Structure 1
Amino acid sequence: MIDLHLIKALHTAAGPRTLDVRLTLPPGEVLALSGPSGAGKTTLLRLLAGLSRPDGGFLQVEGQVWYSHERGQWLPPQRRPLGFVFQDYALFPNMTVRENLAFAAEGQPQARQIIDGLLELLELTELAPRRPAALSGGQQQRVALARALARRPRLLLLDEPLSALDLATRLRLQQALADIHREFKLTTVLISHDPAEIARLATRVVELDLGQVVRVGPPVPVAALGTTVGGRVVAVLPGGHLRVQLGGSATLVEVPAPTGPPYAPGDELALSLAVVPARRD
C-alpha cells in the first residue's frame, strides 16, 4: 500500500501554482497520470523517487515512511526500492547496454539471469554490446526500461516510456510491460498522453491540471476510443500539425503533433481514430 499527500510549488506558464496530490495506491495497481504540459506529472514522479523534496505532506510505502514533513523524515533516493524511466533515458554513455543493466542489477540474486531475461523480453539481446550513442531513441528507451526493471523494484515510475517507439513495437512492449508488471508484482505509476495506452495498461487514471487533481477514475475503455492505426509522417505543418498517411492506404490526414520528441517526415506514429456513427437522413 502506498499512501501519500505531496505538496510542491510549481512554476507554470500560467504563473505560480501548487502541486497538491493526495492518493492511496493498493499493491499491484497501475496508476496512469495524464494532463497537459505543466500539470505537475513529472514533478510528482520526482517527488516519489526522492529526486525532489516536497514542500509538505507525507509519503508512506508498505508501512515504511519515505517522507514526513511533520516528523522531519526523509529517505534518500538511493535507499528507495524503485525503478525510474526518465523522458531523456539517462543512460550511462560510457557503458554498453549490458553494463547499464548490470549496474542496476548489482547485488541482486541471479543478476545474470535477470539481465539475460530482460534483454530478450525487450528485444535488446543483439544490442547488448553497444553503447547508447550507437542506439536509436526507441532503442535507448527500451534499455532505460530494462535498466529500471533490473533493480527488481517494488515501485516502478514511468515517464512516457514508449513514446519514441513505432506503433508495432509500442503495442508489443505494452503487452510486455503488462506481463512484467504481473510477474514482478509491481506497483506502477505511468505518465502517458496516449488514451489507448492508458486503457490497455492502467487500472486507474489521475488527471492533473496546474498541480490539482481534476479527476480520478477508471480509464476510458479501448472500445470507446475508436480504432488505433499506424501512420507515417508525410510533412510537418505550421502550427504544430502533421500531415500523416494512414498505414495500408493512400489516405492523408492532418493531426496535432503528439507531445514528446519532434516528428520528421518518415517517422511512424499511432493514431486513435474515433468511431463516428453514420448519419441517417
Structure 2
Amino acid sequence: MIELDIHKMLQGSSGDMPLDIALSIREKSFVALAGQSGSGKTTLLRLLAGLERAEGEISVAGETWLGKKTMLPPQKRGIGFVFQDYALFPNMSVEQNLLYVNNDRAHAAILLEMTGLLELKERLPGTLSGGQKQRVALCRALMNRPKLLLMDEPLSALDPAMRLKLQHDILTLHKAFGTTTVMVSHDPSEIYRLAERVVVLEHGRIVHDGTPGEVLLRTSGSQKFTLEGELLDIIRADVIYIAVVAIGQQIVEVVCDKEEAAQFEVGQTVQVSTKAFAPTIQHARRGSERL
C-alpha cells in the first residue's frame, strides 16, 4: 500500500496554491490523475519520485520515503518514470538505453519482444518514430522491475492510432509485471481504457475519487450524456443561433435560441448535454473540471 499525506505551497497562475493531498493507493493498481493544468498533478508525481520536497509523509509497503527526518533519494525508491519527451540517450542504441539502467539482457529482450521492438534493438533513437521512442522509454522505465511506475502524459504527442497501440502496450506491461502505476492524463478515453481508479485534482485538492465510470460518466437528471468543451463561436442563422463547440478533437454545432445565445461568450467552457436525444448547451457547473 502507498500512503500519502503531503502538504506543499505551489505558485499557481493566480498566486500561492496549497497542495494538500491525503491518498492511499493499493499495490498493483492503475491510478489516473486528472484535472486542469496547474492543479498539482505533475507535482504529485515528482513528490512520489523524490524529485521535490514537501511537508508530510509518504510510505510505500511500510517503507518511509518521506518523513520528518527522511527524504529517500529517487534512486533508492524503486520507481520507473516515463516522461513526455522520451529522455533517451541519442548516442545509444535501443538496447543500450535499456542496459544503461540495468545490465540484464534477458529482461531487456523480454520487454522489447512484448512491445514489438526486438528487431529495432540496434537502432539509434533518432531513427525511430515517436511511438517507437515512447515504447523504448516505457521499456527502460521497467528495466529495474520498479515497485511504482510514474507516467506524466506519456502519449500526449502521439496521433490517435499510435496512442491506442501504446495504451495496449502499457496495460499489457502493467499486468505482466504487477507494477503499481500512477499516470497523469487529460484524455478521458485513455483514462477509461487504462485506469481502475481516477483521482481528480482541483487547486491542489482532491475533488473526485472513484472508478472511471463513476468519475467520467457523471450526469444529472434525465440527461443521456454530458460533454465539456470550449465555445468557439455563436452564429446567427435566421431566427436561430448555432453554438460551435470544440470537444476534444472534434467540433460540434448546437442549435440554441436568442435568449440562450445571449448567456454565453466565445472562449467560455460549456457543457453540451442531451435529453431525449436533443442536444442542449449550458454553462459548465462551477468547480467542474476538464479532464
* Alpha-carbon distance in 2 for matches of 1:222, 1:210: 18
Which residue number corresponds to residue 65 of structure 1? Answer: 64
- Name the amino acid aligned to 1:48: L
8 Å contact from structure 1 (residues 199, 221) kept in 2: no
Structure 2 CA distance for partners of 1:170 and 1:276, relative to 1, 3 Å: farther
- Name the amino acid aligned to 2:36: P
Which residue number corresponds to residue 107 of structure 2? Answer: 114
1:198-233 per-position Cα deviation (integer Å, ceiling 9, x unaligned): 11111111111221111111113799599xxxxxxx
Aligned ranges 1:1-281 → 2 under 5 Å? 1-54=1-54, 56-69=55-68, 72-106=69-103, 111-220=104-213, 255=246, 278-279=277-278
- Name the amino acid aligned to 2:99: A
- Name the amino acid aligned to 1:136: S
- Name the amino acid aligned to 1:18: P
* Alpha-carbon distance in 1 for matches of 2:64, 2:49: 13
Greater Cα shift, 86-95 or 163-172: 163-172
* Alpha-carbon distance in 1 for matches of 2:246, 2:66: 43
SS in 2 for 1:161: coil
Aligned residues: 236
SS in 1 for 2:212: coil
* Alpha-carbon distance in 2 for matches of 1:116, 1:168: 25
* Alpha-carbon distance in 2 for matches of 1:8, 1:23: 15
Query: Gaps (5+ residues) in structure 1?
Result: 227-238, 242-252, 259-272
TM-score normalised over the length of structure 2: 0.73
* Alpha-carbon distance in 2 for matches of 1:168, 1:221: 26
8 Å contact from structure 2 (residues 84, 155) kept in 1: no
SS in 1 for 2:126: helix
* Alpha-carbon distance in 2 for matches of 1:254, 1:104: 46
Larger Rg: 2
8 Å contact from structure 2 (residues 30, 182) kept in 1: yes
8 Å contact from structure 2 (residues 84, 157) kept in 1: no
* Alpha-carbon distance in 2 for matches of 1:26, 1:170: 26
Q: What is the Cα deviation at residue 134 of structure 1?
A: 2.6
Q: What is the Cα deviation at residue 141 of structure 1?
A: 1.6
Query: Gaps (5+ residues) in structure 2?
Result: 219-223, 225-229, 233-243, 250-271, 280-291
- Alignment RMSD: 2.9
TM-score normalised over the length of structure 1: 0.75
- Name the amino acid aligned to 1:22: A
Structure 1 runs (4+) greater than 6 angstroms displaced: 273-276
8 Å contact from structure 1 (residues 9, 16) kept in 2: yes
* Alpha-carbon distance in 2 for matches of 1:96, 1:254: 45
SS in 1 for 2:33: strand
Which residue number corresponds to residue 245 of structure 1? Answer: none
Q: What is the Cα deviation at residue 89 of structure 1?
A: 1.7
Q: What is the Cα deviation at residue 128 of structure 1?
A: 1.9
* Alpha-carbon distance in 2 for matches of 1:275, 1:128: 50
Q: What is the Cα deviation at residue 51 of structure 1?
A: 1.0
Query: Among the aligned pairs, what percent are the same residue?
Result: 49
Structure 2 CA distance for partners of 1:91 and 1:33, relative to 1, 3 Å: same
SS in 1 for 2:123: coil
